[in-house]
């Protein structure tokens, strides 16, 4: 099974927000080098636009 993250889950994962629904939290716990998750292009574009519009703060 391949996991493809959308914008919301990607931000939850990046910010380590503990309020994920149980199913998604379990999916993140199972990911490793043999069972990776993937990120689509559109969520990255949306996050870049949110950052550009000052609606999202990304701390690296």
* pTM assigned to the model: 0.58
Residue 1 has pLDDT above 70, yes or no: no
Other CB atoms within 10 Å distance of the CB of residue 41: 7
Specify the length of the chain in residues. 60
Three-class SS of the chain:
CCEEECHHHHHHHHHCCCCCCHHHHHHHHHCCCCCCEEECHHHHHHHHHHHHCCCCCCCC
pLDDT at 28: 78
The yes-or-no verdict on residue 4 having pLDDT over 70 is: yes
At 14-47, the pLDDT tens digits run 787 778 888 888 887 888 778 888 888 888 888 8
Q: How far is CA 19 from the centre of its chain?
A: 13
């Amino acid at each position: 099974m391949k996991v493809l993250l959308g914008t919301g889950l990607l931000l939850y994962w990046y910010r380590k927000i503990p309020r994920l629904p149980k199913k998604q939290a379990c999916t993140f716990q199972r990911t490793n080098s043999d069972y990776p998750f993937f990120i689509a292009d559109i969520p990255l574009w949306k996050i870049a636009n949110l950052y550009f519009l000052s609606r999202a703060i990304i701390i690296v």
